[in-house]
Structures are given as C-alpha cells and as structure tokens.
Structure 1
C-alpha cells in the first residue's frame, strides 16, 4: 500500500503549509483538497452558476478542467493560484463542499493522487472519508481569533485590504457550515493526533508532526 499522511482541520490553521513542509522533508507528493473546491467555486462564478445548486455543481465537478503543475493551479489554461486564495473563493469552496454529489465526483480524483513514494493530503475529510486507512492522521486546530489574525497579517502583507472583525466572523461562519454539513462534516478521525497550533509557530508544529511521522514510519530517514 502507498503510505498516506492526512492533515485535516478548519480553515486558516496552516494545513497547506504544514503539508508542503512534511512532504518536502519526506520527498512525497501533496494533495491540497481545498484547492479543488476553491477552483470549483471560482469556475462556477465565472460560468454564472450558483454554488448552491448541487446538480450544476456536480456536473461541473465531473468535468472540471483543472490541473496542478508544481506550485500552479491551472483552470481553463489560466494560472488561478492567486485567484483561489481570496476570502470569496474560500467561502465559495465551503458552499460547494456541502453537496454530496460534488464530494462524490471529486472522491476518486483525490484518491488517484496517492502514488509512490507517498502522499501528504490536507483538507477537511482526508482522514475520515478520502483516506480512512491512512496510518497517520493529524487534526490541526487553532482558535478562530488566532486564525483570523494570521489571515489578516497575510492579506496586509500582500497589500490587500482586510478587516479583522469581519475575518473572525467569516471564519466562525465557515466553521459552522463545515462542521454541520450532512456529508463528510469537519471532525477529527477517531485515531487522529490532535495538534492545537494556537500558540505554536509553524516550526513548532512541524517538529511535533515529525515526531509522529518517526513513530509511525520508523523506517524513514528524516
């Protein structure tokens, strides 16, 4: 079996950064499942489709013209790596992710990305639905205020306007939607290792997760 490490958790906890660092250390592939839903939301907006329509969203997901090359996300031949990282794209992703037909359409696509020598997959349901047999599952969490502050600094660093109270409200709204959806809600797998990054730096989080990697995969040289 191809080894898989899953990193789940709510928006803004640093799952993508952590997954990339772990994969780099191991020489494994990565799966940013959230990018798929963000691309889907962006594609829907550009086509004038409603993210709340499960039928049209499932049809679009089944034929989504997206590809991943290095650090680029390509939609319809255009690099949308930056476009899908906006707050609007994140909210659209949360809206399309509630539809069971959409998740079913993307499930096989995600599982096919598991290939040698291994995969680090981050998202909301990687350890509970997509890769339930993964030998190491991490659930990365942080307080809404801490996540909003990180996002605020990130946006300001890019020269973009940001309102901290609005970011906190958006994060709480998205958390509620992700945790209460009927299919694949945001929950920690029963065997997941819980890591609260509220008061931790990314270096500290990485060190903590690498401890678990060494425990589960003692044959790996880090």
Structure 2
C-alpha cells in the first residue's frame, strides 16, 4: 500500500499534536511536531537573552541559527519522539506558557522559517509522515495527499490549554492562557511570512464539541479515502 503525507494545520491548542500522534501510531507513520521545533528556537532565544517581555534582538537570533541543531529522538516509554536542542532534551521546557508567549514572534522571522521548513521537507521526502503546524499544507507540503485544518473557539482552546498546564503543576491563570491564545492567533494570522491560512484543498474540522475518539474516527476516514485514491 502506498504511503502519503498528512498535513495537519490549525490554531494553537486545537489538539493538532494529539491527533497527529494518534494517526501516525495507527498507520505506523513518522510523526513530526513542527511546533516543537519553533518552540525550541524560542527557548534558545530565551536562554541567550535574545528575547524577553519587552525586547527582541532578532539579528542576534538570525546570526545564531547555524549554531542551533534540532532533532527528534523517539521515546519508547512515552510512545512519541521528544525534541532535542543542541543534543539536550528540551521536551518539557518548551511546553511552558513562557515559551508559548514568545514562539509566535520567533516563528514570524523569515530566516527561522526558511531554516526549519527546509529540515521539515527533508523529513517528509520519503512520505509516510504526519506533520502538524501552521503552514504544513500551504508551504512545507503544498502537494500533500491529505490536508486537515483544525479549529475551535478561543475560549475552548484556552480552557484545554489551562487544564493541561494545571495538570503539569504550572501556576497559571485561565485569563493568562486566554490572552496568550488570542495573541498567538493574531500573530499567526497576520505575519508577513507564511501566515496561518486554510489551504484551498484542506478539510476544515471544528473540534469544539468533538472528543478525541470522535475526532480520530473522522480523520481516519479521510486518511483511508486519501490512501485508497493512490
């Protein structure tokens, strides 16, 4: 049976990664969390004092890009690949609200996007891959056999993200999370380079009222249709 590229785009906190992991595991495909790659670059910028609440030295970050090495390492206990930044596991560090508050600004830099898009395209050269992000179906793999665009109301997404952070023990308020979600939506949809848009041939799924199983079943049917048309 032939393999396809499955591109999953959408707004923050719509469960793209959760869905992508489910589909990849079911199909035996490679899963790539492109959001983790951008988060890792944001973390690097934070660690090197290139970015903060009231400053962002974009030139220093751009000049440091050759020194940023990203790769995924599969964790058999967790069942998914974790993000490594310069050979250090940063999977937990990149999931904080602080990193979330800077990642969209970092991802808006054309030089950052060019570096990561090139790596992402290399990862999918052999197909058999599920990749989620903001511009997978429009920029990274415009010829992907299946494109999904995930959406949900900002309040719903903020509540999901808040619950997730609370479960990890992070001391954050719902208002902080909602503010972050709204700000990221604005930056993602208004940036000059590869803004978040729905590809013309993408299937839009509003999962505001879908649980994980219902969402998985809907997308798996689309996957099977795409594979059967090869």
Fold shared by both chains (TM-score > 0.5): yes
1:160 to 154, 160, 170: 170
1 CA distance for matches of 2:214 and 2:59? 43
Task: Give the conservation status (yes or no) of the 8 Å contact 1:61–1:106.
Answer: no
Distance 2:143 2:60 in 1: 31
Q: Where does residue 66 of structure 1 map in the other structure?
A: 70
Q: Residues 54 and 101 of structure 1 are in contact (CA less than 8 Å); yes or no, is this contact kept in structure 2?
A: no
1:95 aligns with 2:85: no
Which residue of 2 is the match for residue 193 of structure 1? 203
The RMSD of aligned alpha carbons is 1.8
C-alpha deviation, 1:66, in angstroms: 2.3
Gapped regions of structure 2 (runs ≥ 5): 75-80
**Using a 3 Å threshold, how does the CA distance of structure 1 residues 165 and 16 change in structure 2: closer, same or farther?**
same
The match for 1:56 is 60
Give the ranges of 4+ consecutive aligned residues of structure 1 lying more than 6 Å apart after TM superposition: none
For structure 1, the 5+ residue unaligned runs are none
Secondary structure class of the residue paired with 1:217: helix
Do the aligned partners of residues 91 and 124 (structure 1) sit closer, same or farther apart at CA in structure 2, a change above 3 Å counting?
A: same
Name the structure 2 match of 1:209: 219
Alignment of 1:40-189 (within 5 A): 40-50=41-51, 52-70=56-74, 71-116=81-126, 118-189=128-199
Q: What displacement does 1:99 show? A: 1.1
Cα deviation, 1:51-109, whole Å, max 9, x if unaligned, reads 74443333333431222101322223321110000111122211111111211122211
Residues 8, 140 of structure 1: 8 Å contact kept = yes
Q: 2:4, 2:227 within 8 Å by CA — same for their partners in 1?
A: no
2:25 counterpart of 1:24: yes
Q: TM-score, normalised by structure 2?
A: 0.90
Alpha-carbon contact 2:37-2:83 (below 8 Å) kept: no
| Range with greater deviation from structure 2 (86-95 or 11-20) | 86-95
Match of 2:10 in 1: 9
Q: How many residues align?
A: 220
